[in-house]
Structure 1
Amino acid sequence: MRSIAATKKKLGLSVVFLFLPCVATFGLGTWQVKRRDWKAELLDYKRKRLEQDPVPLALAMVDDTSSSSNGESALEYRRVVCDGVYDEEKSIFIGPRMKQLFGSSQRGYYLVTPLLPASSSDMQPAVLVNRGWVPAAWREDFEKGVVTPTLDERFHQDKIKTGTWWRTWWKGKPTMEISPAKGAVTVCGVVRKSENPSMFVPLNVPEQGQWFYFDVPAMLKAVGLPENSPYIEAVGSSPGTDDKITFPVPKEIEDFVRTSLMPNDHLTYAFTWYTLSAATTYMAFKRIREKPVKPLKNFR
């Protein structure tokens, strides 16, 4: 009797271990389907918000705060328009971040600058603005106080010396321009919040001016703005493929609805997990149905 009970217990444990991969892979496939549905709803929400006409930032803050208990989350992905003067001396750079320009991946940074009200009577609060992407050489000369068109020419000359793609693609002398930021400006942007960096992204070191990801509360503190100041990312049109680019290069609307994993990618992963689940289930049933092999008798 004891041997029979022990055999049943051993068989039960074997069944559990055989079907454990089946259940695990099926669960992962179901999780990917749910992630796909969640991602599709999120992107649809973003598109609907981004399709709305831009409104003055001060008006958007009043409307959304009155209709939601969390004004910051209600404002996210709203297109807004704000006016003011850039406080260039308090600019910070987030990166490095790569960007495709002229068919090549370039190393650079996002330029973030406070936008202050042009006058004391302005109803609009101070805003933290991500003005767009700039190449590494642009940052170097910006921090030195060199803000002339020769700055971007040096960037091109460096690329001509170090890369071959300029020689094959461009036969003339490339030119770039720096976006003028003196005086009052009007900015159209999208309200955003802090990033959620992965475990591989280093921590920010504000004391040393090292910023690897967008941490809105920390950035507001670093530039001296109130903690409830909004943060927006400037939007613009595609830089195109001509020979002239104005830095900083702002984001495009499509950048806000583009993620590393789109909904269809989750379906691909789900199909893979479900296939593995079916395969492991088949192998488990096949193993259970196999008749035990009888041991050979010893012959003298």
Structure 2
Amino acid sequence: MPAPARSIVAEVARGGRRSARTALTAAVLLLVLAILLSLGTWQMQRLAWKQKLLTDIAERHAQPPVDLAVVESMWRSGGDIEYRPVMLNGTFEHDKERHFFATWNGQSGYHVYTPLRLADGRYVFVNRGFVPYDMKDPKSRNAGEVGGEQQVSGLARVRLDGKPSSLVPDNDLAKNVFYWKDLDAMASSTGIAPEKLVPFFVDADNASNPGGLPIGGVTQFDLPNNHLQYALTWYGLAAALLGVSGIYFWRARR
């Protein structure tokens, strides 16, 4: 084959390889672009969900408290009881309190979950509030170990179905230190039978403990809401990818 012909064939072959590489590059870029756009859209959907959740929480928190029986009926019918204001009466059994590791105003300590025995013999685990780390022992805060029948007002809180993350430590039942709110473990470790247990928690407000400690009203309402920032990040990366891709293909054509 003459040299000019060989040169033409080689150039055609090189052009075919360049076209294949260009097509493969375009396919990869389109896939990455689709992923970035889907992540941004997902974060926008999460933003709408979070804003609705925060609005619902604010509306529920502003409602007057209802009797425990009303919240129980709502729970049995599948209603959302989270953050519902509730009022209940009973007697605290302080010898069965469980301690959930927590921080409050930058200080390490525990939330004290104490079973409240109702008139019908059932129990509600009440988050009475925060105590500093060195006051875990109930004997160090006798003034807060109120006796007799007490009226408690607070917010209903749903139980967890399981450990929220593998990064969360396991609960230490021997030391009575909980890292996630396992209602069944709290009850069984204190000898409370499942049929005697109200299936949700109550976070007491700051008016439910005349003894000073634990410090009530520890429920947090400032849920993190960074979804818009995340969405803008993903969309920004998608825009940057489009810009870089445009330059690449423009140069490839030249």
Give the TM-score range, shorter chain: 0.7 to 0.9
Ranges in structure 2 where 5+ consecutive residues have no aligned partner: 1-8
Contact kept, 8 Å, 2:94 with 2:145, in 1: the verdict is no
Task: Please name the residue that 2:154 is paired with.
Answer: 189
Deviations 1:188-217 (A, max 9, x none): 121112356333210113244231111122
- Mapped partners of 1:258, 1:146: distance in 2: 31
Q: Percent identity?
A: 27
Aligned to 1:152: none
- Residue number among 16, 21, 31 corresponding to 1:10 in the alignment: 21
Matched, 1:74 2:39: no
Query: What per-residue deviation string (whole Å, max 9, x for no partner) do you get for residues 37-64 of structure 1?
Result: 01111122222222221112124323x2
Q: Which amino acid aligns with 1:179?
A: G
Letter of the aligned partner of 1:269 in structure 2?
Y
Question: What is residue 96 of structure 2 aligned with on the other side?
Answer: 90
Task: Give me the whole-angstrom Cα distance separating, in 1, the residues matched to 2:83 and 2:33.
Answer: 41
Tell me whether 1:26 sits opposite 2:23 in the alignment.
no
Superposition pairs of residues 280-295 of structure 1, within 5 angstroms: 280-291=241-252
Determine helix, strand or coil for the equivalent of 1:74. coil
Give distance in 2, aligned partners of 1:75 and 1:271.
33
Residue 201 of structure 2 is aligned to residue 258 of structure 1: no
Structure 1 residues 124, 188: CA separation in 2 closer, same or farther (over 3 Å shift)?
farther
Q: What is the aligned partner in structure 1 of residue 135 from structure 2? A: 138
**TM-score normalised over the length of structure 2:** 0.81
Query: In structure 2, how many angstroms separate the alpha carbons of the residues matched to 1:38 and 1:125?
Result: 36
- The one-letter code of the counterpart of 1:40 is Q
2:152 and 2:204 in contact (8 A); partners too: yes
Preserved CA contact (<8 Å) 1:57 1:124: no
Secondary structure at 1:271 match in 2: helix
**Partner of residue 113, structure 1:** 114
C-alpha displacement at 1:146, in angstroms?
3.9
Matched residue, 2:57: 46
Distance 1:207 1:139, change over 3 A: closer
Which amino acid letter does the alignment assign opposite residue 136 of structure 1?
Answer: Y
CA distance in 1, matches of 2:218, 2:176: 27
| Unpaired stretches in structure 1, ≥5 consecutive residues | 149-177, 238-244, 294-300
The answer to whether the Cα contact below 8 Å between 2:81 and 2:158 also exists between their aligned partners in 1 is no
Report the CA distance shift for 1:124/1:286 in structure 2 as closer, same or farther (over 3 A).
farther
Of 37, 54, 57, the residue aligned with 2:48 is 37
Quote the offset at 1:252 in angstroms. 5.1
Instruction: Give the aligned partner of residue 123 of structure 2.
Output: 126
Deviating 4+ runs (over 6 angstroms): none
What whole-Å deviation, never above 9, does each CA across 1:48-91 have from its counterpart, x for those lacking one? 222221112124323x257x2x3xx5333211111111111111
**Matched pairs, number:** 235
Pick closer, same or farther for the CA change 1:219–1:84 going to 2, 3 Å. Answer: same
The answer as to whether partners of 1:114 and 1:223 remain within 8 angstroms in 2 is: no
* Cα distance, 1:236–1:147 mapped onto 2, change above 3 Å: closer
3-state secondary structure, aligned to 2:236: helix
Alignment of 1:270 onto 2:213 = no
Counterparts in 2 of 1:291 and 1:55: CA distance versus 1, 3 Å: closer
Task: Determine the structure 2 residue equivalent to 1:198.
Answer: 165
Once the two structures are superposed, residues 224-280 of structure 1 have per-residue CA deviations (whole angstroms, 9 ceiling, x without a partner) of 33435132111226xxxxxxx921111256x2x321x22xx2112211221111011
Q: How much does 1:109 deviate?
A: 0.5
Describe the shift of the 1:214–1:98 C-alpha distance in structure 2 as closer, same or farther (beyond 3 A). same
Rate the CA distance shift 1:44–1:124 in 2: closer, same or farther, 3 A: farther
Q: What residue number does 2:190 align with?
A: 223
The separation in 2 between residues aligned to 1:74 and 1:292, in whole angstroms, is 59
Residue number in structure 1 paired with 2:177: 210
More deviation in 130-139 or 50-59? 50-59
